[in-house]
Amino acid sequence: MGSGLLALIEEWPVANVAAAVVTAAAGDVTEAIGDIDRPYRLASVTKALVATAALVAVEEETLHLAHPAGPEGSTGRHLLAHASGLGLHGGVPAEPGRRRVYSNAGFEVLGSLLEQESGLGVASYLTEAVLGPLGMAATRLTGSPAHAAVSTATDLAKWAKELMAPRLLAADTVQQATTVAFADLDGVLPGFGWQSPCDWGLGFEIRGTKEPHWTAAANSPATFGHFGRSGTFVWVDPAAGRALVVLTDREFGDWAKLRWPALSAAVLAEP
């Protein structure tokens, strides 16, 4: 990374960090710091990876997002968009399509649905549908489809590249997945409080007008991605033509709330 970005990251109170910038113009990693081949726990960044597998299943007509799934009145699309009404760990605190309720339980149901329809375990399907074709050999799902993947900055940069310039998926599929699903729903963005609206696509959080947020104010409203409680995040800003992958081994907390946006702003400000 440029010296300014390096200085920002070196100030972070973490034992280990790896980061990679991908630019659309180059079509690859243009800057990196740390051991980008070191594996890190992804926590909830896992959801967006599993969502990518679900999108492949939709294109293969293995998975049908309009079919009922989860609570009564909910579908696979609701599960992907955190709009099924399922609570974080279960229960049904809201009706489907009425509020954005961030839900690990929803992705557990989605994983079960993917297994049922594909005949493969969700980890196997993820590997066959996404990780293998993209050459993400260091990435694996070790448990829950909501939070149990392990990966490297090198691998996640390959995934970000796919999201910027799709080849595995159809461009229209990625466009639909990164467009707000069930618009104008309010809800809580974990770590950042109540957001109105709390925009989400199909497995990808969309920045929209959220404030505060883990990306920078300079990120476009179209920016999409995910962050994880393990101190990880990936965002893609289609307007800027840039993506940023950051992995750390310190759990998300107050230390990250100013540092992550500052780094994102610096990446966007680079020529």
Please write the tens of the pLDDT for every residue from 187-225.
999 999 999 999 999 999 999 999 999 999 999 999 999
More confident residue, 223 or 2: 223
What strands, in cross-sheet order, belong to the sheet with 149-151? 40-41, 149-151, 140-141
pLDDT averaged over every residue in the chain: 97
Q: How confident is the model at residue 2 (pLDDT cuts 50, 70, 90)?
A: low
Find out if CATH 3.40.710.10 is the number for domain 3-269: yes
What is the secondary structure of 85-132 as a DSSP string?
Answer: ---SSS---S-TTTSB---HHHHHHHHHHHHHHHSS-HHHHHIIIIIT
For residue 158, how many other CB atoms are within 10 A of its CB? 21
Angle at 161 between CA 103 and CA 102, to 5 degrees: 10
Residue 34: the pLDDT is 95
CA distances from 93 to 71, 97, 117, 157, 180 (A): 11, 12, 27, 36, 22
Report the C-alpha gap between 153 and 161 in whole angstroms: 12
Predicted structure pTM score: 0.97
Residue 141 tokens, joined: 């799902």
pLDDT digits (tens, 9 = 90+) for 73-119: 999 999 999 999 999 999 999 999 999 999 999 999 999 999 999 99
Model confidence at 7: pLDDT above 90:
no
Residue 87 tokens, joined: 């609570």
Residue 137: the pLDDT is 98
Q: Where are the domains of the chain?
A: 3-269
